[in-house]
Amino acid sequence: MTEQTANRRVVTNIALSLDGHYAGPDNPLDMSWVMPYAHTDVARDHLTALCEPATTALLGRVNAEGFLGFWPTVIDMEGADPRDVGFAEWLVEADKVVLSSTLDQAPWERTTIVDKPTAEAITDLRATEGGDILVLASASVIKALLAADEVDRLALTIFPLFLGGGPRLFDDGLPAGKWELVSQTAGEHGTMSVVYDRIR
């Protein structure tokens, strides 16, 4: 059972290429480059550890449509890895907040649509009870939270390939600050997961 707190931790998670991109140069929605590495023990254990203390998933609209269209189908998928099933069950049961100015109502259960700036939405969520607020691979949301210095834990999976271009997670002009490495795991195919906590 996740302990509920009034001062909730904001945890962001995203996959990056070795040259620092979260998407390739031609199609930002094409995540095929991730798939050979997403099924490694490192990636699966990383995601499992992040969702265990979390009670809320925060997503942008595009990622919400992708995640919530796919993951619930994994629960009854024959031969699915138990860690994938566990994450899928967590995602279904978690409170979900989707940041969108275009959706009027949520087509998913336990989901709230919020149409306001990301930093304001996080301030509201921090004031409620619950465990970690886990931001799942929504680059635009994570970038806004980094710019507002609202990320408490930064989790990355780094995959050993160059995309050669495309959008980057870390833009110039982010608030200066120090981070502490709290975990690092390397595994098959050269995949690495790292987790940093913001030092305040």
pLDDT tens profile 15-55: 999 999 999 998 888 888 998 898 899 999 999 999 999 99
Expressed as residue numbers, the domain containing 191 is 10-199
Asked if residue 193 belongs to a domain, the reply is yes
Q: Is residue 1 domain-resident? A: no
Residues 141-197 have pLDDT tens digits of: 999 999 999 999 999 999 999 999 999 999 999 999 999 999 999 988 899 999 999
d(CA 93, CA 55): 9
Residue 123's pLDDT band, with cuts at 50, 70 and 90, is very high
Q: Which residue has the higher pLDDT, 134 or 65?
A: 134
User: Can you say whether the dihedral through the CA atoms of 134, 5, 145, 156 is positive or negative?
Assistant: negative
- Quick one: average pLDDT of 111-120? 96
Residue 180 placed within a domain = yes
Q: Tell me whether residue 2 is in a domain.
A: no
Q: What is the pLDDT of residue 5?
A: 53
Instruction: State residue 105's pLDDT score.
Output: 86
Mean pLDDT of the chain: 93
CATH number at residue 52: 3.40.430.10
Please count the structural domains in the chain.
1
97 domain residue, yes or no:
yes
The predicted structure's pLDDT at residue 29:
80
pTM score of the predicted model: 0.93
Is 4 a member of any domain? Answer: no
Please check whether residue 3 lies inside any domain of the structure.
Answer: no
Q: What is the pLDDT of residue 1?
A: 43
Structure confidence at residue 106 (pLDDT): 87
pLDDT of residue 104: 85
pLDDT band at 3 (very low <50, low <70, confident <90, very high): low
173 is written with which tokens? 């002009």
The answer to whether 159 and 33 have CB atoms below 8 angstroms apart is: yes
122 or 105, which is more confident?
122
Is position 113 within any domain? yes
